[in-house]
Chain A
Amino acid sequence: MNLALLVCAALAAEAHATETHATDASRLRIAELAATGPLASATLDFGGAGRATLLLDLAAGESRTLNVPLPTREGFDALVPSVSDPRLRFVGWRPDAERERAFAALPLALRTRSAPPPPARSLAPSLAALTLVVAGVLFVSRVRANRARALLVGALTAVAVLSLELAFDAPPRTRIVLDFELGADGSVGDGVRWVSARDRLDLGVEPPLALAVEPAQTALDVRIDARGAGPARTTVLGTGALLGRADAAREAPPDRAGNRWGDLAAVWTRDEAGTWTEHGTWPFASPLPAALAGDRRPPGWINPALPQGRKLLIGLASEPEPGAASPGARPPGVPSLGVPSPGPEVWIRVTGP
């Protein structure tokens, strides 16, 4: 009787979790907009949830209906934005049963995990810029009696400092984590493909199944480029926030008997007792290499709060050169992940059996 109650409680919890994540967890929901030309741009203000800027190229007399992802918060169905231009009409939130079903079909253990943190991005200035700032202020100090000259020196220094800062600034990096859960018999279903970045995430033309944002109260700035005949491209900005898109991962994860996924630059395994083993590189189409001597462990962020008492496999795909379109030296015939450039880190995490 107690066992039956426990099972019922677990099922109810899962049903509730499914509902919660399918409806509330994602910070983006699809909404329908109707635009009438002439219209080049318009903004939608969602209050604390954020805002969206829509770029269009509608001529007079033209009209277009768009289904685009817009920022929401809990209780999204009551959220109605204020629109900057009456030629753009917010028709309403569009129920997206297919997308919700696809998200709910992913293993609960995977979709309830938090989005992986993106690679850290330093805001620190370069030494050259700092030196220039000090030199510039000292020079301004020398010529301060002549206001025009002081302003000229200050402005030139500012332009040089900003140019230096932007010239040596590395583009924000993206981190991809493919998360799989094996069944007790070793079977594998769909995994979750997380793409995370800080501050800015290009969603392309395909909205994610869910968008996680940390801190949750971050006001999102959604930019939608609907110019031209093609589908609208969406970019999400959240200054200082972690942005993680979740989609289904349908490729086969590496199997210990044979790696059919692709080259991996580093691999670790954990046994049921919690002991980590490093295996080094794992080439495509080969069995899992033998353990290496030493106790180098995978980075802490990749294995937080993972279930104890189960096996784990963590792999780092070869890091591509900046600008490369896909990770690693992928052999022909192996499907590409469609990784956005420039060069994201790609990790694989397999839990179980």
Chain B
Amino acid sequence: MRSLVLACAFAVSAASVLLELVGSPAWTLAPASHVGWVVLVWSAALTFAGFGERAWSALSSVAACLPVLALALGADLRSGDPWAEGSARALAALAVFAAWGVALERSARSELGARIGRTVWFVLALGVPALVAALEWGAADEAARAPVWLAFANEASPLAWSRELAARDLASGWRALPLAPLGAALLLFAVATRLARKERA
């Protein structure tokens, strides 16, 4: 991740916690999840990560994200989140960010992989949630829902999952686990690894 992108991600994500210093109900993120907001910002920053150039590696970016994620977890716990649930969600959020960072970094190792990685990121992470939002929020009928296949694809978007985490819209129990975003990242990683090996050979 480029240093400037990382600095912006750090500043914007930390702002959600820093705004609490104002102490005004108009300037608080609660009842939204600070952890969800932090991982949403850091995941969105992957759009401009620029892996493969002279930049931070995915794992170093995760390392830089950890302190501000801990700060956000502290705010969530103070706002009433049970310790076990709050920690589990923070770990899940970190796993999503790390998995997509590593997968995109790996895809940058080959020319075709980089193209696939950028396309998958644009379509799955950004495009699908935008389309779902357009169909559901922009529809004249409040009960309008996106088609099932699109909603299914949306589940794999790390940004859509992070947004749901931030808004506390996630279902309870195991359904809150980011299985789809992690699975999609794993698939991209596997394809990118194969392409990188092929190109080296």
Please state if B80 and A154 are interface contacts (CB–CB under 8 Å).
Answer: no
* B156 interface residue per 8 A CB criterion: no
Q: Given the interface contacts A123-B28, A239-B31, does A154 sit within 8 Å of B67 by beta carbon?
A: yes
CB-CB contacts of B1-20 with A at 8 A, as 1s and 0s? 00100000010001001101
Contacts of B21 in A (CB 8 A): 124-125
Contacts of B10 in A (CB 8 A): 137
Please state if A51 and B172 are interface contacts (CB–CB under 8 Å).
Answer: yes
CB-CB contacts of A198-211 with B at 8 A, as 1s and 0s? 11100000000000
Counting contact residues on chain B (CB < 8 A from A), the size range is 35 or more
Q: How far is the CA of A123 from the CA of B75 in the complex (A)?
A: 5
Please state if B62 and A123 are interface contacts (CB–CB under 8 Å).
Answer: no
Please state if A162 and B70 are interface contacts (CB–CB under 8 Å).
Answer: yes
Counting contact residues on chain A (CB < 8 A from B), the size range is 35 or more
Contacts of B30 in A (CB 8 A): 123, 239-240
Q: How far is the CA of A147 from the CA of B59 in the complex (A)?
A: 6
Please state if B71 and A137 are interface contacts (CB–CB under 8 Å).
Answer: no
Q: Which of B18, B34, B73 contacts A162 (CB 8 A)?
A: B73
Q: Given the interface contacts A158-B66, A166-B74, does A199 sit within 8 Å of B60 by beta carbon?
A: no
Please state if A147 and B57 are interface contacts (CB–CB under 8 Å).
Answer: yes
Contacts of A165 in B (CB 8 A): 70-71, 73-75, 77-78
Q: Which of B66, B71, B75 contacts A155 (CB 8 A)?
A: B66
Contacts of B57 in A (CB 8 A): 144, 147
Please state if B20 and A123 are interface contacts (CB–CB under 8 Å).
Answer: yes
Contacts of A133 in B (CB 8 A): 14, 67-68, 70-71
Please state if A154 and B79 are interface contacts (CB–CB under 8 Å).
Answer: no
Contacts of A264 in B (CB 8 A): none
* B81 interface residue per 8 A CB criterion: yes
A to B contact number (C-beta, < 8 Å): 127
* B133 interface residue per 8 A CB criterion: no
Please state if B80 and A125 are interface contacts (CB–CB under 8 Å).
Answer: no
Q: Given the interface contacts A237-B82, A240-B79, does A122 sit within 8 Å of B20 by beta carbon?
A: yes
Please state if B70 and A159 are interface contacts (CB–CB under 8 Å).
Answer: yes
CB within 8 Å of B: which of A132-184? 132-133, 136-137, 140-141, 144-145, 147, 150-151, 153-155, 157-159, 161-162, 165-166, 169, 172
* B88 interface residue per 8 A CB criterion: no
* B147 interface residue per 8 A CB criterion: no
Please state if B17 and A125 are interface contacts (CB–CB under 8 Å).
Answer: yes
CB within 8 Å of A: which of B30-74? 30-31, 34, 56-57, 59-60, 62-71, 73-74
Please state if B68 and A155 are interface contacts (CB–CB under 8 Å).
Answer: no
Q: Which of B65, B70, B81 contacts A161 (CB 8 A)?
A: B70
User: Which partner residue on chain A sits nearest B81 by CB separation?
Assistant: A239
Please state if A150 and B80 are interface contacts (CB–CB under 8 Å).
Answer: no
* A67 interface residue per 8 A CB criterion: no
Q: How far is the CA of A133 from the CA of B70 in the complex (A)?
A: 9
Chosen A-B contacts, 13 in total, with CB atoms closer than 8 Å, are A140-B60, A140-B64, A147-B57, A147-B60, A150-B60, A150-B63, A151-B60, A154-B63, A158-B67, A161-B67, A165-B71, A172-B80, A241-B31
A-binding residues in B (CB < 8 A): 3, 10, 14, 17-18, 20-21, 23, 28, 30-31, 34, 56-57, 59-60, 62-71, 73-75, 77-82, 168, 172-173
B-binding residues in A (CB < 8 A): 43, 45, 51, 84, 120-125, 129-130, 132-133, 136-137, 140-141, 144-145, 147, 150-151, 153-155, 157-159, 161-162, 165-166, 169, 172, 198-200, 218, 237-241
In the A-B complex, list the 6 residue pairs whose CB atoms are closest, starting with the nearest. A240-B31, A199-B80, A165-B74, A154-B63, A158-B70, A154-B66
Given contacts A144-B57, A169-B77, 19 further A-B contacts (CB under 8 A): A120-B23, A124-B17, A124-B21, A125-B74, A130-B18, A144-B63, A147-B57, A150-B64, A151-B63, A154-B65, A154-B66, A161-B71, A165-B74, A165-B77, A165-B78, A166-B74, A200-B80, A237-B82, A240-B30
